[in-house]
Chain A
C-alpha cells in the first residue's frame, strides 16, 4: 500500500458569525486507497489526539447519494474528477507532495455554520413552496391507470437524479440555483401526474428561489460541469419555457 504526504489548506470558521481563515495542516502517510473524507478522518483523529478541534464537514452516506458532503476542493465543488461527490473522490487521484485547498460550498444563500458546513435549507424552502404533486395518501388510482411513455419516464428520472447537494450553486459565479430548481421542476413537469399544478409549481419555486437570495442564471454552464449526477442544463431551458408559459397563463386568468 502506498501513501502520500500532503499539505492541506483548510477553511476554518468557529461559528456562523465568526471570521474564518485558511489554516495549514500537514497530512502525512495518507493511504492512496483512502477516500477524500477518510483522509480528513485521519487528519481529524490526529487533531483530536492533540486535543485540538477537528475540522467539521457534512457527510452521511459516503456513497454519493445523500447529497450531504459538500467541499470545494482546489476551487471546484466536489473536486476535479467530475461526475462524483466529494465522498466518492479517492486519494489515488492525488500525488505525493500536493497542496490541496479545501473550502465550503460558498454562496450568499448558503451561510457557513462552522468550518466546511453550510446551511442549505433554502433548497428545502424552494421545494416546500410547490415542488410536489398534491396527492393525499390513499387517494391514488391503480398505478397502471396512468400510462407514462417510457421517454417521459426516463426524462423525469434523469432530472430526478439530482441529490440536492448544491454544487451547482457553489460553482456558479452568480450563485444561481437554476440547475437545482429546473431539475426539480422538470422531474414533475415531464409526467402526466404533474400537469395539473405545473404553472403554479413553476411560478412558486422560481419566486422562492429569488427570495432566498440566489443569483440569476447567465448561462455559464459551470453548474452542469460540476454536477455529480450530471444533470443536464437542458432542464434550465425547459424551466425557462415552462416559466414563460406559466406567466402567460397567469396573465390570462
Chain B
C-alpha cells in the first residue's frame, strides 16, 4: 500500500496557503446537495459540524452523550496554545512549530505541524468573537501563561475550565446551525459501524441509545472526531464513556491505525485508592510550578507512612529524596511529563511509594507556603486544593498531596493525509482520533488547539478535494453494503446479549486495563509486551464466553453500551502491544526499557544527555507505523510512512 501524506511541495511556511489555493471549490448552490456525517461533538467534531453547515453543506452530527455540550473536551483544564506573541516574549509561528516537533520527539510531519501553528492564531480570534471568556488583564487584554515547561507564555486559559469554555463556544456555534437547519443533531446515538460502499466511506450504522433502534445513515463523506483511546487502560483521566469503537470499526473496515503505542501518561493525578476505582482525576500540571515532589529515602520510613504510623511532616529534610531536583537540577520538578511519570514509577517500584497501595509520591507545598505565604498559594491553587481535599479528604495546606501518573492522552489514531482523509476515500478523521500532529508526545495545551484547528479551519478547506470528485447522493442506504452492515451489527448486539455468563463487563475491562498498564504502560520491554500479547486473547475469549450483559437491546441499556466498547478494546489492546513491540526504540510516550542511554554511551560521556534518557533510533524508526487489520487475533500488517525533515534537524533530548 502506498501511503501518500500529500504534503504540498514548496517552502514550509507557504505550504498551507498554497494548498488552499490549489484546493478544489464547490459552488454555493452545489454545497447544499452534499451530505456530511460528523461523528463526535467535542472540540473537533463540533467545530467541524458548525463550520461545514455555515459553508452550506448538510450535516448530521452524532454523539453518545445526552447533549453535544458534554463531550469529553469539556474536561480540559489548563489552556490552549497559540503563537499570538501577545506577550512579546519571542514567540512566533515558527517557534510553536519547532517546540511541537521537538516535543513530539521528531515523530510527526513538519507540514502538518507548521499548519497547526499557523492556524493557532485564527482559533483565538474565533473563540473570542464567540464570547469565550478567556482570562484578561486589567487593561482588557488577554492574559497568557506558560504551560508545561514552555519557555514562552503562549497559553490562553479560562481559569481551570478552558475546555468547558471552548466547548461551550463550539456548542453554541453548533446550536446556531441546528437552529438554522444546516445541522441535524443526534445525541444519545452511538456509531457501531462504518459503511464502505464500493471502496468509499458512505455512511454509518448507529444505535439510538434510548430506544435501542439500529439504523443506517448515508452521506457523501464521513468525518470521525470521536476522541482518544486512553480508556483501553481502564483507569485514565478520560471520561467514563471515552472509547475506541468508532475508530476501531473504521479500522476493521480498512482504515489504517497509526502509532497506537504513543500514549501519554500524566504525572500529576490522584493515586488509585482501591479496586472499586472507576477513574483517575488529573491535578493540574501547574501545581509543579510550586510543589516539590519527594519520597522518603528509606523503605522503612515509606512503609511507616503507608501504614499511617508516620506523618509526612514528621520526616526530616535529611530523610527526604526530592528525586527530580536531584536528577534534573536545571528543570527539577518541571521536567517533561514522561520523565516525571517514569521517575515516580521507579521510586515506587523501589518500595519508596507513600500511598497506602505503595503507588504514590508526595507533592509538597510546605516550602512554597513558607516562602510565599498561604494567601499567595491559595490565590494560585485554591480551587485545586479544594478539589483535592474533596476527593482525598486531606488538606494540602497541612499535608503534602499524593500523586501518581495516569493515562491521559493518546497521540496515535487513524492514519490521515494532509487533507485529514484516511486511506479509505471519503473517511476523514479529526482531533484526538487521528494521529497527525503530535508525533510521539503531545505538549500541554496543544490538544485543544489541534481539535479546533482541524474542525474550524482545516477540514472546511480540504473536504472539497474529496467531495468535488463525487456525485452528491450517489450512494443511499439502499446500497447492499448498508444492508449487510446492518445485519452484522444486529448480530453482534444479539450475540452480546445472548452470552448471559457470570462476569460483569467492567470486570473484563479492569482485567484488560491492568494487563496494558503493567505490560504496556510507562515502561515496556519485549518480555512484558509478549506476556500481554499472550494474555489478551485469553481475556477476550473468556469475555465472549462468560460476560453477562443484562437487559435487552430495545431499551436504554448501559451494560450493552459498555460491552460493545470493551469488546473493541479487547481487540485494540493487542494492536497497541504489537506496535509497542515492533517499535524497538524509545521516543516520547513510548519508553522501551531496553532502549535507554547508559553510562557507556558516547552521548552520555560527552554530556549531551544522561543515563536513563529515552533512546531514539532515527536511522531505523523515523517513520509512522500504520497498521492494517487482518482479522481478530491475527497479527496486523505494518505499512510505513517515512518522515522527512527539511526544516529541523532531529536532536537528542536532554533535560539535565
Within 8 Å of chain A (Cβ to Cβ): is B240? yes
Whether A128 pairs with B175 at a CB distance below 8 angstroms is yes
With contact pairs A65-B161, A141-B125 given, residues A148 and B556 touching in the complex (Cβ less than 8 Å): no
Q: Which of A76-115 contact B (CB under 8 A)?
A: 84, 88, 90, 92, 113-114
Closest to A56 in B: B558
A131 within 8 A of B: yes
Tally B residues with Cβ within 8 Å of A: 83
Instruction: Kindly report which residue of chain A lies nearest to residue B558, judged by CB atoms.
Output: A56
- Tell whether B158 is near chain A: CB-to-CB under 8 Å: yes
Chain B's closest residue to A92 (CB) is B393
Q: Contact at B175–A127, with CB atoms within 8 Å?
A: yes
CB closest residue in chain A, given B77? A65
A212 contacts B by Cβ under 8 Å: no
List B33-92 residues whose CB lies under 8 Å from chain A: 47, 50-51, 54, 65-70, 72, 74-75, 84, 86
Would A41 and B278 count as touching, CB distance under 8 A?
A: yes
B125-A142 in contact (CB<8A):
yes
Q: How many whole Å from A62's CB to the nearest CB in chain B?
A: 5
B560: min CB distance to chain A, Å: 11
Which residues in A have their C-beta under 8 angstroms from that of B68? 124
* Contacting pair B502 A49 (CB below 8 A): yes
- Chain A contact surface mostly: loop
Contacts of B277 in A (CB 8 A): 38
CB distance from B411 to the nearest CB of A (A): 21
Rounded to whole angstroms, the CA-CA distance of A133 and B171 in the bound complex is: 11
Question: Pick the contact of A60 from B70, B128, B281 — CB < 8 Å?
Answer: B70
* Minimal Cβ-Cβ distance residue in B for A149: B140
Q: Report the minimum CB–CB distance from A5 to chain B (whole Å).
A: 15
Which residues in chain B, 320-358, are within 8 Å of chain A measured between CB atoms? 356
Q: Which one of A167-175, A185-193, A237-245 is at the B interface?
A: A185-193
In the assembled complex, which residues on chain B have CB atoms less than 8 Å from the CB atom of A129? 179
Whether a CB of chain A sits under 8 angstroms from the CB of B506 is yes
**Binary per-residue interface labels of chain B (161-179) against chain A in the complex, 1 for a CB within 8 Å, 0 otherwise:** 1011100100111011011
Interface contact A63-B179, CB-CB below 8 Å:
no
Does A161 make an interface contact (CB < 8 A)? yes
Name the interface residues of A42-67: CB closer than 8 Å to any CB of B.
42, 44-45, 47-49, 51-54, 56, 58-67
Q: Mark B85-110, 1 if CB is under 8 A from A, else 0.
A: 01000000000000000000000000
B130, B134, B457: the one contacting A153 at CB < 8 Å is B134
Q: 1/0 per position for B262-286, CB-CB distance to A under 8 A?
A: 0000000000011011110110000
A155 to chain B, nearest CB (A): 9
CB distance from A139 to the nearest CB of B (A): 8
A residues neighboring B (CB under 8 Å):
1, 14-15, 31, 33-35, 37-38, 41-42, 44-45, 47-49, 51-54, 56, 58-68, 84, 88, 90, 92, 113-114, 117, 119-121, 123-124, 127-144, 146-150, 153-154, 156-157, 160-161, 163-164, 187-188, 191, 193-194
Question: Can you give 6 contacting A-B residue pairs, CB < 8 Å?
Answer: A49-B548, A52-B550, A56-B558, A65-B74, A119-B66, A140-B125
